[in-house]
Amino acid sequence: MRSVNFGKAIPFAPLRASRLKRATGVFLKGLERSRWLLAAAVLCMTTGATCIPKRPLAEFQPQPIFTAPPSVEQMAQVVNRSKNIQSLQSNFVTINPNQIRNLDASLVWQRSRRFKISGGISRMMGNNFEVGSNEQWFWMSVRDGMRPQLFFARHDEFEAQPIRRILPVSPLWILEALGISELDPYQVLGAPIPRPDGMLELTTLAPSATGSYTRTLVMDPKFGFSRHVYLKDPTGRLVASANQSDHNFYSSISMALPHRVLIQLIPAIDPPTEIDVTIGSYVINALDTNSNVNFDLPNQNGYEVINLVQFNQGLPQAVTPIQVAPPGPVAVPPPAAPQQLPPTAYRGVPWDGRQVR
C-alpha cells in the first residue's frame, strides 16, 4: 500500500477560512449598502422627495425680457403665453391654511374648468380635503373630526350671486393666483402706473354676471410676470388677492410660473382666510395617464351636504343628492337680516374661517 505523507497535505482549512472571511466581508459591505439604499428609499417615500436628479437651477431662472418699460401690448403678449398651457400637474404641493400647519397635496388642471387639489396631514393617511371643479360644478369636501362636510355649487348659479359666504370667488380663481392668467389690452383701464418698488400696476375690467369686477396686476417690468393680483367686486370691495414669488421658467411654454403663492380670500360676511401654497415642481402639458384622476363630484355618503348657492341666500339646508339638484336658478326669498343667517358651518381644512393675522 502506498503511504501518504500527511505532513505535506494541502492546507484546506486555512483556505476555507480565508475564502469565508473574504465572502463575509463582501456580504457585510453589500448589506450595509442595502441598508443605505433602503433608508434612502424610505426617506423618499416619507418626505415626498423624488430622488430624481434635479436640473441645474440655472435652467429654471427667469431671464430678463424687457430692457425698457414695456407697453400694455408687450405685457399682454407675455402674460398670454399661459394660453399654451393645456394641462398642469404637481404631486409636490404644500398648503398651509391660516398658518395652522403644512398639508401635503397634489394638484391637477385641464383646460378649462377641470381642476382638483386634494391632500391632508400625511400622504399615507389619505386625503382630508378636496377642492375640485368640472364644466358644471365645483365643490369642497372636508373631513373635520366627526363631521365631514361637502360644499357644492353650479358655476352659473354661484357666479350670479352678488353676496357670497365662505368663498368670495370660485375655486377656479386659484389658477389666476398660480399665474395662469390672461390679459386683454382692450379691458385695461388707463396706462400702467409705476410703483415705488419699481413694479408696474395694471388695472383691468373683469366682467361677470353681477357686474364688472376690477383686477389689478402688479407686473415686473423686467421679467414680464405678475408679482401680485388683486380682485375687487363691482362695489370696489377687495375680495381676493395673491402674492406671487419664487418664479421658475419653463422653456416649453416660454414663461415663468410662481412656486410660492400667498392667497387671501375675503367673503362678504365671514372672516377672511389666508392660504400659503408652495409648489415643488410642475408637469406641463403631459398629464400622467396612470394617475387615474377624475373630475367627478365626490361620493356624498357620510357627508353633510351643503348647497353654497342656498347657503349664500340664507336658506335652510336639506341634505339632497347633488345629482338631482335643480338645474335652474333657485328662487330668492325676501332677504333675511344678517343675524338670522345660519352660522358658518365650514370649519376645518383648508378653509377654517379664522381671522387672518
User: How wide is the angle at C-alpha 222 spanned by C-alphas 216 and 224, nearest 5°?
Assistant: 50
Does a structural domain hold residue 346? no
Of 106, 108, 113, nearest in space to 129 by CA: 106
At 324 the pLDDT is: 32
Asked if 247 and 258 touch (Cβ cutoff 8 Å), the reply is yes
Residue 251 in 3-state DSSP? coil
**Residue 122: band (very low, low, confident or very high) from pLDDT cuts 50, 70, 90:** confident
Q: Supply the pTM of this predicted model.
A: 0.73
**Residue 14: band (very low, low, confident or very high) from pLDDT cuts 50, 70, 90:** very low
Output the nine-digit C-alpha cell for 159: 357666479
The better pLDDT of the pair 130, 349 is held by 130
Does a structural domain hold residue 189? yes
C-alpha span between 225 and 82 (Å, rounded): 11
C-alpha span between 351 and 151 (Å, rounded): 12
**Residue 20: band (very low, low, confident or very high) from pLDDT cuts 50, 70, 90:** very low
**Residue 25: band (very low, low, confident or very high) from pLDDT cuts 50, 70, 90:** low
SS in 3 state form for 144-201?
Answer: CCCCCEEEEEEHHHHHCCCCCCCCCCCCCHHHHHCCCCCCCHHHECCCCEECCCCCEE
For the segment 239-262, the average pLDDT, to the nearest whole number, is 97
Does a structural domain hold residue 294? yes
- Neighbouring C-alpha atoms within 13 Å toward the C-beta of 338: 6
Does a structural domain hold residue 90? yes
How many structural domains comprise the chain? 1
At 201 the pLDDT is: 97
At 19 the pLDDT is: 52
Does a structural domain hold residue 105? yes
C-alpha span between 105 and 71 (Å, rounded): 38
The better pLDDT of the pair 143, 342 is held by 143
Residue 226: is its pLDDT beyond 60? yes
CATH number of the domain at 110, please.
Answer: 2.50.20.10
**Residue 147: band (very low, low, confident or very high) from pLDDT cuts 50, 70, 90:** confident
For 1, 2, 14, 249, the CA distances from 9, given in Å and listed in that order, are 18, 15, 12, 75
Residue 330: is its pLDDT beyond 50? no
Does a structural domain hold residue 195? yes
State the average pLDDT for the chain: 79
Domain interval for residue 243: 65-313
Per-position DSSP letters for 260-314, written without gaps between them: EEEEEE--SSSPPEEEEEEE---EES---TTS----PPPP-TTSEEEEHHHHHHT
At 259 the pLDDT is: 97
From the CB of residue 223, how many other CB atoms can be counted at a distance below 10 Å?
18
**Residue 334: band (very low, low, confident or very high) from pLDDT cuts 50, 70, 90:** very low
At 145 the pLDDT is: 72
**Residue 287: band (very low, low, confident or very high) from pLDDT cuts 50, 70, 90:** confident
C-alpha span between 172 and 105 (Å, rounded): 17
Does a structural domain hold residue 324? no
The better pLDDT of the pair 331, 64 is held by 64
Output the nine-digit C-alpha cell for 91: 404631486
User: How wide is the angle at C-alpha 54 spanned by C-alphas 121 and 350, nearest 5°?
Assistant: 20
The better pLDDT of the pair 346, 164 is held by 164
Of 189, 162, 197, 186, nearest in space to 335 by CA: 162
**Residue 342: band (very low, low, confident or very high) from pLDDT cuts 50, 70, 90:** very low
C-alpha span between 246 and 255 (Å, rounded): 13
Element (H, E) at 26: helix 12-47
**Residue 15: band (very low, low, confident or very high) from pLDDT cuts 50, 70, 90:** very low
Specify which of 35-49, 142-156, 189-203 reaches the highest per-range mean pLDDT: 189-203
Question: Among 16-20, 80-84, 260-264, 353-357, which is the least confidently predicted range?
Answer: 353-357
Q: Longest Cα pair distance anywhere in the chain, in angstroms?
A: 124
At 275 the pLDDT is: 96
pLDDT in tens, 50-100: 333 344 466 789 999 999 999 999 999 999 999 999 999 999 999 999 999
Asked if 230 and 212 touch (Cβ cutoff 8 Å), the reply is no
